[in-house]
Chains A and B, each alone.
Chain A
Amino acid sequence: KQEVTQIPAALSVPEGENLVLNCSFTDSAIYNLQWFRQDPGKGLTSLLLIQSSQREQTSGRLNASLDKSSGRSTLYIAASQPGDSATYLCAPGNTPLVFGKGTRLSVIA
């Protein structure tokens, strides 16, 4: 059974900092891995999807890497902004997705 761990559980940084969120998973037999953002009381917004054959994916200030063999993924956020404040969820992809508990990010202006 897939288990997902996200570190840190919470993170507070000043605006402008670069930061890294970590995700580890136990079953490396995955099709892909997705990173999501969840604002309080809201649904999920898909940020990045990395196919199992890829090592990284970029979208704007976000960069996600995947090391499938070691069961790890990282989400790098460059030049953080207060609007980035949210919970970030990692989901190694086999259908259905299994989620970690997320990292609660606060970016202070």
Chain B
Amino acid sequence: GAVVSQHPSWVICKSGTSVKIECRSLDFQATTMFWYRQFPKQSLMLMATSNEGSKATYEQGVEKDKFLINHASLTLSTLTVTSAHPEDSSFYICSATGSSPEQYFGPGTRLTVT
């Protein structure tokens, strides 16, 4: 199956700083990528959808100026959490689709803001 990677797998940052998470499709071209957030013992909540070369579409309640998404190529999307606060601590998971509608998920990034 298709492989999606994320980097870093975990990150700790101080409150007020920004952190960037990368999502890469390793063996296929990802025309669309999705970013999810998961709090402990909760389900995955979709944050935004990004298409290569265009602006991301954010779900209601997700601040686009805080969670910057860039999908600059068919294999890479980045999520930057700006001015991070402890409440942004969560598990962030990306997924990607290519020529088929099946979504392939990355392994996730654990963000802890101190």
Contact = CB atoms under 8 A, between A and B. Distances in A.
Nearest to B104: A46
Contact of A96 (B46, B91, B106): B46
Interface residues of A, number: 20
A96 B105 contact: no
A92 interface: no
Interface of A is mostly: loop
Interface in B55-114: 91, 93, 95, 97, 101-108, 110
A44 B93 contact: yes
Contacts of B44: 44, 89, 99
Given A43-B107, A99-B44, A102-B43, A49 B34 contact: no
A49 B44 CA distance: 18
B106 to A, nearest CB: 6
Interface of A: 31-32, 34, 36, 41-44, 46, 49, 89, 93, 95-102
